[in-house]
Structure 1
Amino acid sequence: MTTTTRTNRTPSGDLTVHHDGVTIPLSRGGRGRPLVLCPGLNSTQDGLRELIELLRRDHEVVTFDLRGHGLTSAADRYSFEAFLGDLDAVMARVGRLGLDQAPVLVGYSLGADLAVHHAAAHPGSVAGLVLIDGANPVPEPFLTEDALPEFRAMWTELAARQRAEHGTPRQVLLTAEQILDLNVEIDEVRSGILSRYESIDRPITMIMSTSMAGGGDERAARFDRNWRAGVERLVRRRPHIATSWVDAGHGLVFTHAAQVARIVGRAAS
């Protein structure tokens, strides 16, 4: 099915993208080299406010929320392909903003995977990529059969907390089962992401957490080893990729926003 994409200015002066039945308000601010920031699953631009404000000191930053997140409307489907279509629509609009140069695309978690797929499919649309704790070609999937009950319980609790934020800029409208299904799909996407990197001829910087799974028990340690092994696998194939490790968990964009912003700034300079 073919869908149309259109944009208009909201009364506040921000841009809004209408795509595939979803309304995506864009936020734009700051001055300097342009960046587009794509949040990840279960994160919103409001939650990333500290990082965004730090980046806007030296960059013109455009950001948005994924469908069903924050200020973006709900959708009738949530899949990697659907999220990627939204990013493609946002980037098409950014391309018509009259920026002085192509933007650096910064993606966090799922947003990093979306950024890699967008850049591979649209050569020349970005000046470079900064990938924050995502788009990792891990050698083993995270959602193994033995881990499913633990993850289901974790995301059920998360979805309950998010329901309490309904109607706020931090709301996430996805259910626990939708989050689970998406993470299974992300595992599958990452199993083939190495080939996407081969299609990208722009500078790439990765900012990765040392304790992606949060540390603690042996299962978390196994996840963390798998995370590091994925990066090492990628750098063997693409040695020009710059990698920075942050001594933090997957929430590094919240807990270490200043450090992450400095690395992004260096990569985008």
Structure 2
Amino acid sequence: MTATGDSTTRHLTIQHDGVTIQVSRGGRGLPLVLCPGLNCTQADLHELIGLLRRDHDVVAFDLRGHGLSSAAERYSFDAFLGDLRAVMRELELPSAPLLVGYSLGADLAVHYAAERPDTIAGLVLIDGANPLPEPFVADVDLAEFREMARQTVEWSEDGDRARQVVLSAEEVFELGLEMDVVRAGILERYRKVDGGVRMIMSSTIAGRGGAGRAPRHNRLWRDGVERLVRQRANVSVSWLDADHRLVFTHAPDIAEIIRSAHQPGSGPAS
């Protein structure tokens, strides 16, 4: 691991599995590691990171193929989990951090916490890691989700290297399908996490439309969370009136939930 930067923000690089992971660290207070999601970079999360740094020593990073991290030969849930493991392994923090994940990053956080529960102070999961009672992407949704993947990749190619994603539209689409498989078994992972888990979830992940896929997907999203809360007493949830972009549109609300739940001496969220 190498480090550069000033006293405000340090920039680190971690060599792992043939890729270079770009990490930033800044702020003061309780340690916090922020894991982004698919097609999401540190640059995209700049508002939330800035708010969290007021109360936390925040470590953020770009997954392989995202932002300032290098491209890779393979992109899969396990490969991204390896990126998170590498970051956690290389950090030198004064105490166990709060682990925060958004979307795919939330699923990565749960899997890591199930493996190494002794290394984190608690979990905050933002609109991800949902144990859905049935697949999110049904056969009827395939064409629409493939088109959404294409549009997402085009949006990320805006000339700003810090925001770019080098995955192809087909790779993004295939990862979306893989996430249904991951979430089908994620309840078993939650059973290995004894500490506090706070979920911050969108009430209308697929938008407010009353036709098409939106009603079914919004219902599935809520059903999955309610299923989890019934089974795991250490899980609590805050719902925000937003879609899956909540991490961008409601950054102050998310930062306040994290701050109020994890003040010094407050213990894990419950």
Quickly name the TM-score band, shorter chain normalised: over 0.9
State the 1:27 CA deviation.
0.4
CA distance, structure 2, for counterparts of residue 109 and residue 267 of structure 1: 20
Answering whether residue 135 of structure 2 is matched by residue 138 of structure 1, we say no
The residue number in structure 1 matching 2:112 is: 118
AA aligned opposite 2:138: T
What letter corresponds to residue 133 of structure 1 in structure 2?
D
Q: Is the contact between residue 130 and residue 267 of structure 1 (CA under 8 Å) also seen in structure 2?
A: no
Q: How does 1:1-269 map to 2 (within 5 A)?
A: 7-10=1-4, 13-94=10-91, 97=92, 99-165=93-159, 168-216=161-209, 217-269=211-263
Letter of the structure 2 residue corresponding to residue 233 of structure 1? R
> Matched residues in 1 for 2:232 and 2:191: separation?
8
Q: Deviations over 1:29-83 (max 9, x none)?
A: 0000110000000111101000000000111100001110011110000000000
More divergent stretch after superposition (65-74 vs 154-163): 154-163
Deviations 1:146-202 (A, max 9, x none): 10001111211221222233x520001111100010011110000000000000111
Instruction: Name the SS for the 2:50 alignment partner.
Output: helix
The runs of at least 4 consecutive aligned structure 1 residues that moved more than 6 Å come to none
| Structure 1 unaligned regions, length at least 5 | 1-6
Mapped partners of 1:113, 1:230: distance in 2? 14
In 2, distance between residues paired with 1:49 and 1:108? 13
Q: CA deviation at 1:264?
A: 1.3
2:213 counterpart SS class: helix
Question: Identity across aligned pairs (percent)?
Answer: 59
Q: How far apart, in 2, do the equivalents of 1:261 and 1:11 lie?
A: 25
| 2: CA distance, partners of 1:154 / 1:26 | 28
- Paired amino acid for 1:107: G
2:33 aligned counterpart, secondary structure? strand
**What SS does the corresponding residue of 2:25 show, helix, strand or coil?**
strand
Tell me the TM-score normalised to structure 1 length.
0.93
Q: Is the 8 A contact 1:36 1:105 kept in 2?
A: yes
Task: Give 1:115 shift.
Answer: 0.1
Q: Does the Cα contact within 8 Å between 2:195 and 2:234 map onto a contact in 1? A: no
Please state whether the residue corresponding to 2:166 is helix, strand or coil: coil
- Separation in structure 1 between the aligned mates of residue 221 and residue 17 of structure 2, nearest angstrom: 33
Deviation at 1:11, TM superposition (A): 6.3
State which drifts further: 252-261 or 233-242. Answer: 233-242
Q: Would you say the 8 A contact 2:194–2:234 is kept in 1?
A: no
State the distance in 2 between where 1:205 and 1:163 align: 33
3-state SS, counterpart of residue 131 of structure 1:
strand
Q: The residue matched to 2:57 in structure 1 has which SS?
A: strand
SS state at 2:21 partner: strand
Supply the AA of the counterpart residue of 2:235.
I
Contact residue 107 and residue 130 of structure 1 kept, 8 A: yes
- CA positional deviation for 1:214: 1.3
1:235 shift after superposition:
0.6
Q: Report if aligned partners of 1:211, 1:250 keep a CA contact under 8 Å in 2.
A: yes
- 2:222 counterpart SS class: helix
